[in-house]
Amino acid sequence: LGSKVITCRAAVAWAPKEPLSLETVEVAPPKAGEVRIKVLATGVCHTDAYTLNGHDPEGLFPCILGHEGGGLVESVGEGVTHLAPGDHVVPLYIPQCYDCKFCKSPKTNLCGRIRSTQGAGVMPDGTSRFTCKGKSVFHFMGCSTFCEYTVVSEFSICKVDPEAPLDKVCLLGCGISTGYGAALNTADVQPGSSVAIWGLGAVGLAVAMGCRERGAARVIGVDINPDKFEAGKPFGITEFVNPKEQERPIQQVLTELTDGGLDYTFECIGNVHTMRAALESCHKGWGVSTILGVAAAGQEISTRPFQLVTGRVWKGCAFGGWKSRDAVPQLVQKYMQKKLMVDEFVTFNFPLDQINEAFKVMHEGKALRSVVNL
């Protein structure tokens, strides 16, 4: 099959704000330096919805969304030696080429090798591997996992333990690794500290999991959906505050509740107002606030410079700060050794033709993660 076009099913995003449409698509063979994957499972992340709603300045249509996948190598293009057909793999929206300025720096997990073509919805040679009804269809985040087969750069994929269930470890391709890594790598949460997390979705609860592992004394969940408190307890949420139930600004409520403010806060929503609240709820002198939420182009954060002058630190995080191809196989091992929760994040499973349901239950706040089985 390696050199043949594969005809298969995909959930295509034809236009912003329109439901995904089940279509027959053609997937071209991998070119040099590329890998074609048979996708077996994919999570649905809020970022897929962010782009589908037309908020993503890099969102191009028609496209195949999805960036939290797991599958098997179907074929490799010329020059690809580190993977072979049958390998169990997770696609990576932050690649690792080991050769660019970013990969050579210990300060970041970003990789610059293919970011410009990835943001343009095409493969490194500037073209797409997908067609549908005679039209070219864009790639997404270098992954496009809402399709039975996808093609990715050899830099955007890692081999994982074949014993690991792909319909679970697909979630290590984004949300869980992001939140967990933010606590460990970006904020470096210290034992005994106080933490507040805005947005108790899969990302926020993965942050909680990391904070608990680091021995945080208090992990306060902040969410406007009261159901999230019960849901958050198994992941390490120890207290819950619903801003809707407070008369005063949440910053005041939390500062009083924690003797001056939090040692660490995290924003896992994508709302510039809660980003400000998260920063201003940090403790004077040392509080660190980490932004994980994705906000659209044109959205800007603001605060009084005095907040920073008096020692608060505002930072951000992509994919948990993990250098992707090094870290994801290790995170899979940690899960296999039962040292990392993954199963508990799966709320629903859907077949590909019900993928729009997965978006619906996420928006309704009923799901941490839905996994689509292909």
**Is 211 labeled as catalytic in the residue annotation?**
no
177 makes contact with Zn ion (CB under 5 A): no
> Contact, 292 vs 267, CB < 8 A?
yes
Q: Residue with CB nearest ligand NAD?
A: 201
Out of 174, 292, 340, 358, which residue is the one contacting Zn ion (CB under 5 A)?
174
**Is 97 labeled as catalytic in the residue annotation?**
yes
The CA-based diameter of the chain, rounded to the nearest angstrom, is 64
38 makes contact with ligand NAD (CB under 6 A): no
**Is 74 labeled as catalytic in the residue annotation?**
no
Single-letter amino acid, residue 51: T
319 makes contact with ligand NAD (CB under 6 A): yes
Residue 43 Cβ vs Zn ion, minimum distance, rounded to whole Å: 8
103 makes contact with ligand NAD (CB under 6 A): no
Burial class (CB in 10 A: 0-12, 13-18, 19+), 23: middle
Catalytic choice (9, 26, 108, 115) = 115
What's phi and psi for 326, nearest 5 deg?
A: -75, -40
**Is 63 labeled as catalytic in the residue annotation?**
no
Residues binding ligand AHE (CB under 6 A): 45, 47, 56-58, 94, 110, 115, 174, 294, 318-319
The contacts of residue 362 (CB under 8 Å, 6+ apart) are 44, 46, 49, 201, 370
292 makes contact with Zn ion (CB under 5 A): no
Residue 90 Cβ vs ligand AHE, minimum distance, rounded to whole Å: 14
**Is 325 labeled as catalytic in the residue annotation?**
no
Burial class (CB in 10 A: 0-12, 13-18, 19+), 235: buried
167 binds, among ligand AHE, ligand NAD, Zn ion, none (CB under 5 to 8 A by kind): none
Extract the tokens encoding 70.
């797991």
Catalytic choice (9, 100, 303, 344) = 100
Q: Choose among 181, 124, 218: nearest CA to 327.
A: 181
196 binds, among ligand NAD, Zn ion, ligand AHE, none (CB under 5 to 8 A by kind): none
> Contact, 93 vs 69, CB < 8 A?
no
57 binds, among ligand AHE, ligand NAD, Zn ion, none (CB under 5 to 8 A by kind): ligand AHE
CA–CA separation, 18 and 361 (whole Å): 16
**Is 143 labeled as catalytic in the residue annotation?**
no
- Kindly tell me which of 94 and 250 has the beta carbon lying closer to ligand AHE: 94
- The piece of 43-51, 257-265, 278-286, 304-312 that touches ligand NAD (CB under 6 A) is 43-51
Residue 314 Cβ vs ligand AHE, minimum distance, rounded to whole Å: 16
Strand intervals (E) in the chain: 6-12, 21-27, 34-43, 69-76, 88-91, 130-132, 135-137, 149-153, 157-159, 194-198, 218-222, 239-241, 264-267, 288-291, 313-316, 346-351, 369-373
**How many CB atoms neighbour CB 118 within 10 A?**
25
**Active-site residues: which are they?**
45-47, 67-68, 97, 100, 103, 111, 115, 174, 369
Summarize as ranges the residues that interact with ligand NAD (CB under 6 A): 45-47, 50, 174-175, 178, 198-204, 222-225, 228, 243, 268-271, 274, 292-294, 317-319, 362, 365
